[in-house]
Chain A
């Protein structure tokens, strides 16, 4: 399974591909995480907020390839993508493990993935560098086996996405 999470509509022709699922997060009802820890300690693996996010994180967990499309803000993801990433914590357990000598949450059934991030709207090199540092941190908590960041202008987002998807076998 391959997944595309985008913070904007994409005009992408996936043809007959059944191995790719694409979510336009900007048109989904995804409210922010309320930090209740319900997905860890009340209904493990399930978010207590039953909106569109519950359709997304199981698919993200089972994907071996993920393409994230997000505007960059202050060196991180903008609100639409960040809201979804925060709502994806049911894929982790409350329990802590050691990973590369650091403490991190134990993952549930999350497939290690090759991640590509099409990051647009960064204002300067400093912001790009900070985003690189963030994604390096995400790799540990979001099961990235490998990752690549493609910085681009807003006008070039569609082209960058098409280019990436064309490489998918």
Chain B
């Protein structure tokens, strides 16, 4: 491997219009190495493996899903383990979690580390972002940008770090802010907060079934 290069893998289930893509763009802006991006969602596993042959580093970006890595990442890991590339890039990871506490992503990061161990890939830097659904659209985006810049510099220099960032607010305030965020989200679809707060699942309550 001559020139250092980073392959950014977007593991979001809504890759084309995901926050993960926005995080990838920020990383690219701050990274001192050549970067290229790929969405795992519909990627051919062979094409992913081929791209991995030509890079020194990988940045895997994904949202926390059911406390763990999302299905597109899981599928990619399985395919790569089945037909591994010869090259063993250093894998860094950026996880965005909608909850305030970035450490809710610790298990997902450990899953990535286990994958790396099995593949014989070095683990690079880790950035866990809390309140990741909304942070880029709030004044607090400056904190996320700052940490992504730190991450990009760590990957560029090969001096890896473990980083966390979230909105610097109390949990009580986060509850209020997130309620407003989601209420506004529903309103854009013509749905009220009361409708969003229905206890019904598939239109009924357990006693009705």
A residues adjacent to B (C-beta < 8 A) = 1, 32-37, 40-42, 44-46, 54, 57-58, 61-62, 73-79, 82-83, 85-86, 88-91, 93-98, 101-104, 106, 108-111, 126-127, 130, 133-134, 137-138, 141
Given contacts A46-B202, A75-B111, A137-B107, A37 and B171 within 8 Å (CB-CB): no
- CB pair B198 A44 closer than 8 Å: yes
What is the minimal beta-carbon distance from A7 to any residue of chain B, in angstroms? 13
- CB pair B66 A141 closer than 8 Å: yes
B142 within 8 A of A: no
Interface size class of B (residues with CB under 8 A): 35 or more
Q: Can you offer 16 A-B residue contacts whose CB atoms are under 8 A?
A: A33-B65, A35-B63, A36-B14, A41-B182, A44-B186, A61-B201, A73-B74, A79-B78, A82-B66, A82-B68, A82-B71, A89-B66, A93-B196, A98-B175, A130-B107, A137-B104
Which residue of chain B lies nearest to A78 when distances are taken between CB atoms in the complex? B74
| 5 tightest A-B CB contacts, nearest first | A62-B206, A35-B14, A137-B67, A94-B182, A35-B13
Contact partners of B24 in chain A: CB under 8 A: none
- CB pair B209 A62 closer than 8 Å: yes
- CB pair B182 A61 closer than 8 Å: no
B110 within 8 A of A: yes
B residues adjacent to A (C-beta < 8 A) = 12-14, 18, 63, 65-72, 74-75, 77-78, 99-101, 104, 106-107, 110-112, 114-115, 118, 171, 174-175, 178-179, 182, 185-186, 188-189, 191, 195-206, 209
- CB pair A134 B78 closer than 8 Å: no
Contact partners of A61 in chain B: CB under 8 A: 201, 206
- CB pair A45 B200 closer than 8 Å: yes
Partner of B178 from A32, A95, A101, A110 at Cβ < 8 Å: A95
What is the minimal beta-carbon distance from A78 to any residue of chain B, in angstroms? 8
Tell me the complex Cα distance, A95–B78, Å: 33
Partner of B198 from A77, A89, A108 at Cβ < 8 Å: A108
- CB pair A96 B199 closer than 8 Å: no
Which residue of chain A lies nearest to B106 when distances are taken between CB atoms in the complex? A133
Tell me the complex Cα distance, A37–B99, Å: 15
- CB pair A41 B65 closer than 8 Å: no
- CB pair B66 A73 closer than 8 Å: no
- CB pair B191 A41 closer than 8 Å: yes
Contact partners of B205 in chain A: CB under 8 A: 109
- CB pair A45 B201 closer than 8 Å: yes
Partner of A133 from B12, B70, B110 at Cβ < 8 Å: B110
Tell me the complex Cα distance, A73–B107, Å: 13
Partner of B74 from A44, A79, A102 at Cβ < 8 Å: A79
- CB pair A95 B204 closer than 8 Å: no
Tell me the complex Cα distance, A115–B131, Å: 29
Which residue of chain A lies nearest to B64 when distances are taken between CB atoms in the complex? A137
